[in-house]
């Protein structure tokens, strides 16, 4: 499959400090949605703005389709309006003095070869796609935030750009609307066959929307993979922690072979864990695991420990337990409308395939 977007060794260096984007490379095949995920300041938005032409890269190459749009070493820099892209911003960025129809029709009237046929029919088709056909003649200022963001999306889709860029487009919406529009957004992009590059700091958003997710930190792309691989096989401790594996057990490597490590947890005993890293006997290790993967009151075939429930937090459809295991503390989550376990001694199983061992390199980055 051909790539709608190709980024090779992208670097963006501002006047001071480390590069905001530091040697990032990835492809987005036509029709795929790639999500860049990471904390504030990791370089994800700067990467997207370089693709849009709103930032000028310091190094590397960006191609959209078969055309190089940025390559500083050769003096290539195509203007944003010539890149055949659509962009949806965090703010709604609609024309407040126009109706919904006028907002969506605007790019067709002001782009070369933008109409290519009847403008009204294209606008009607796109408004129907985003669920706003009945709102076509309303002033855009009379709409809710979610509806205005749909207008912004329709305006970016109506001329069928080669690539759609989305910069945290749901972050200004309330929680319930954000979830609903998140699901709708993937349906709309897939229905149009649009290629998308989407930026967010929200893990749940990334998992729902992305065909692949790229996790970034300090300007570097740490891992680019399908959501289930990011979730179940994080490449390093930062990826694991940022995507929800907030529990950490500290120990020492006893042995490592074939992607499996044996870790000494001290007073708790030994455990088996999966690892993507070549660990050596004697290395200090962090073992990351998710709260939902801890099995309370169960004795599995491996990684069974004597532990103690020290606190419960009942939340209606789930209960969070604070558990002490050999002097180390874990948070466990169980679904269900009742809290099944009392404070005190309990057997705990940590399934080896859901425990991920990494070399201990100091403090955990938030």
**Could you tell me which CATH number the domain at 237-359 has?**
2.40.50.140
Residue 285 sits at φ, ψ, to 5 deg, of: -135, 150
- Looking at residue 118, what is its pLDDT? 86
Domain boundaries, the chain: 3-232, 237-359
Tell how strand 304-314 and strand 344-349 pair up: antiparallel
Q: Which residues contact 308 (CB under 8 A, 6 or more apart)?
A: 323, 324, 325, 343, 344, 345, 346
Euclidean distance between CA atoms 137 and 17, whole angstroms? 49
Residue 44 sits at φ, ψ, to 5 deg, of: -70, -45
Q: Which residues contact 106 (CB under 8 A, 6 or more apart)?
A: 95, 98, 155
Residue 256 sits at φ, ψ, to 5 deg, of: -150, 130
135 in helix, strand or coil? helix
Q: Is the pTM of this model over 0.85?
A: yes
Integer-rounded Cα Rg, in Å, for the chain is: 24
How confident is the prediction along the chain (366 residues), in pLDDT tens digits per residue?
567 999 999 999 998 889 999 999 999 999 999 999 999 999 999 999 999 999 999 999 999 999 999 999 999 999 999 999 999 988 878 889 999 999 999 988 876 555 556 888 999 999 999 999 999 999 999 998 889 989 999 999 999 999 999 999 988 888 888 888 888 899 999 999 999 999 999 999 999 999 999 999 999 999 999 999 999 999 999 999 999 999 999 999 999 999 999 999 999 999 999 999 899 999 999 999 999 999 999 998 999 999 999 999 999 999 999 999 999 999 999 999 888 999 999 999 999 999 999 999 865 444
**Could you tell me which CATH number the domain at 3-232 has?**
3.40.50.300
- Looking at residue 276, what is its pLDDT? 92
- Looking at residue 55, what is its pLDDT? 96
Bridge partners, 152 (sequence order) = none
Longest dimension (CA), the chain: 74
């Amino acid at each position: 499959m051909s790539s709608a977007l190709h980024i090779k060794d992208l670097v963006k260096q501002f006047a001071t400090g480390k590069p905001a984007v530091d040697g990032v490379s990835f492809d987005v095949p036509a029709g795929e949605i790639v999500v860049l995920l990471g904390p504030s300041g990791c370089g994800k938005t700067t990467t997207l703005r370089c693709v849009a032409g709103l930032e000028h890269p310091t190094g590397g190459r960006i191609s959209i389709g078969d055309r190089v749009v940025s390559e500083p070493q050769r003096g290539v820099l195509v203007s944003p309006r010539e890149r055949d892209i659509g962009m949806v911003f965090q703010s709604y960025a609609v024309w407040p003095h126009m109706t919904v129809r006028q907002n969506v029709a605007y790019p067709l009237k002001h782009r070369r070869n933008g109409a290519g046929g009847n403008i009204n029919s294209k606008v009607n088709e796109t408004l129907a796609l985003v669920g706003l056909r009945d709102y076509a003649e309303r002033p855009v200022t009379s709409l809710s935030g979610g509806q205005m963001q749909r207008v912004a999306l329709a305006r970016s889709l109506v001329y069928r750009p080669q690539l759609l860029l989305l910069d945290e487009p749901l972050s200004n919406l309330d929680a319930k609307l954000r979830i609903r529009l998140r699901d709708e957004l993937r349906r709309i992009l897939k229905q149009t066959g649009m290629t998308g590059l989407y930026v967010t700091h929200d893990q749940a958003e990334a998992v729902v929307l992305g065909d692949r997710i790229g996790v970034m930190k300090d300007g570097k792309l740490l891992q680019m993979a399908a959501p289930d691989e990011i979730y179940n096989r994080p490449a390093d401790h930062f990826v694991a922690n940022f995507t929800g594996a907030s529990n950490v057990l500290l120990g020492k490597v006893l042995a490592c072979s074939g992607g499996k490590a044996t870790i000494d947890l001290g007073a708790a005993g030994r455990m088996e864990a999966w690892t993507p890293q070549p660990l050596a006997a004697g290395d200090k290790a962090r073992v990351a695991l998710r709260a939902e993967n801890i099995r309370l009151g169960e004795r599995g075939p491996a990684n069974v420990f004597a532990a103690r429930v020290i606190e419960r937090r009942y939340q209606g459809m789930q209960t969070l337990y604070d558990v002490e295991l050999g002097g180390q503390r874990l948070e466990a989550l169980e679904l269900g409308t009742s809290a099944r376990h009392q404070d005190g001694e309990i057997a705990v199983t940590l399934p080896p395939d859901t425990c991920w061992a990494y070399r201990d390199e100091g403090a955990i980055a938030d």
